Homo-oligomer: A and B are copies of this chain.
Amino acid sequence: MTNFSVSDRLLAGVIAAVLIHICTLSPVAGQSADLKKDAIAIDSIYDEALVNGRCYSWLERLCLDVGHRLSGSKNAEKAVTWTKSVLDTMQLDSVWLQPCMVPHWERGASEEVRLYLKGTKPAVLQALALGGSVATPAGGIRAEVVEVRSWEALDSLGEKGLRGKIVFYNRPMDPTKIRTFEAYGGCVDQRVTGASRAAKYGAVAVLVRSMNLKIDDFPHTGSVIYDSAYTRIPAAAISTKAAETLSAAIKEQIKPEVSVRMSCQTLPDAPSYNVIGEIRGSEYPGRFITMGGHLDSWDVGHGAHDDGAGIVQCMDALRLLQRIGYKPRNTIRFVAFMNEENGLRGGKEYAREAIRKGETHVFAIESDAGGFTPRALTFESADPAFDDKFQQIRGWETVFESYGIRINKGGSGADVSPLRPTHAVLSGYSPDSQRYFDFHHTADDTFDKVHRRELELGAATIAGIVYLMDRYMR
């Protein structure tokens, strides 16, 4: 794109801005004269985020100084300390650690998957043990590998076809889903439940195709959950490239073998913490608005998009509200939840404590879908009056439209979901999803994959909706 139409573009831009201004404010003014002022306040939040945003430099520190931070690890401890130290500089009314016990799984030093083809040297398949997997015997497991793409195919192979074998789950993400989370939802069952469903038929290990829409060599880890009715067998993810290689080998050759060697282990539960900071409400200190992400990550890469981004965005959202001089009516909390990835202990503990203390939660929002350009905010609630509340929230869409953000009904986030019984309105921050599964749970989820402006726009969006919920939601 060149400069020849600059004046046209500029003019078009000015006209567009004026139109947006008119469109944004007119219908809103009909609903509430105040919303005009609110639109201006929210604009100043975005300006501050884009000019003086802290989230990006905070993310750099979290990624480069702490790094990945699986629950129970030394790095998770460091992350707790780091997060509290940042909150301590923010002149909040209160900062504290909320204890919770977390699972403690370690990958171990030895991890290797090899493919044995007749007449060639064994080839390494890029692999990561799934979180929670048991280890193999020290010498590993070597067996024939059988590919399945559906539960029906697994069941029809049955014990006869699977006993003593390694099952390779190779159902890919559906590329036709525009929202990639739907494609993820359509195949993650293989990773979560595949080990036990194969063990039921006597399989000795499972390999799972990574949840990735690209063909590349990064294996994507994530949790396996064992069904206690069956033997716990080792489970690993292999990269999509390795999956293609393995699938081709199975097609070309009768009974190729694979070896799997992993030394991971589950240790006793470890003490850890949610990290919480709050600004006390000026009118309703006993009513709460919570915003957060999860501080833990998988044990590879930096956990930059998942979910360092959510942590620093919500922390910056709190700062943005301070910076525009906003005095919240309700108490506003930032919560860095611990252990979303393999237990949700932090999210559950936060809700348990809130319910025990009789805290009224008006609203809780989670950012845990990556640090990409904001596209939508989604809302849900167990409140029988939610439809009316959602109509009210939808009335604010005109404010968010100039930032390209829609207001939809939809899911919130794993960590805030235990607050559902309180009838709080729950929300999920929903950025563009096209790139998320390039990085999710991989060694490639590093700081350099996060775009500064995209991250900052998210912080401003979260601050904006918290501002409106605080002012108007009863």
Contact = CB atoms under 8 A, between A and B. Distances in A.
Nearest to A5: B414
Interface in A1-41: 1-6, 8-10, 12-13, 16-17, 19
B9 A175 contact: no
Nearest to A211: B3
Contacts of A46: 176, 178
Nearest 10 interchain pairs by C-beta = A12-B411, A10-B185, A13-B182, A47-B176, A50-B175, A5-B414, A1-B368, A3-B192, A2-B341, A434-B453
A178 B1 contact: no
B1 A440 contact: yes
Most central of A1, A19, A50, A402 by chain B CB within 10 Å: A1
A451 B181 CA distance: 17
A191 B223 CA distance: 53
A404 interface: yes
Interface of A: 1-6, 8-10, 12-13, 16-17, 19, 46-47, 50-51, 175-176, 178-179, 181-182, 185-186, 188-189, 191-192, 213-214, 222-223, 225, 306-307, 340-342, 344, 368-369, 373, 375, 380, 402-404, 408-411, 413-414, 417, 432, 434-435, 440, 451-454, 457
Contacts of A306: 1
A307 B6 CA distance: 17
A178 B414 contact: no
Contact of A178 (B2, B4, B223, B404): B404
Given A6-B189, A222-B2, A16 B410 contact: yes
Given A17-B182, A175-B453, A185-B9, A4 B50 contact: no
Nearest to A341: B2
11 contacts: A1-B369, A1-B414, A2-B342, A3-B191, A8-B417, A13-B179, A50-B176, A51-B176, A373-B373, A375-B404, A434-B457
Nearest to A414: B5
A6 B188 contact: yes
Interface hub of A5, A19, A306, A417 (most chain B Cβ within 10 A): A5
A373 B179 CA distance: 12
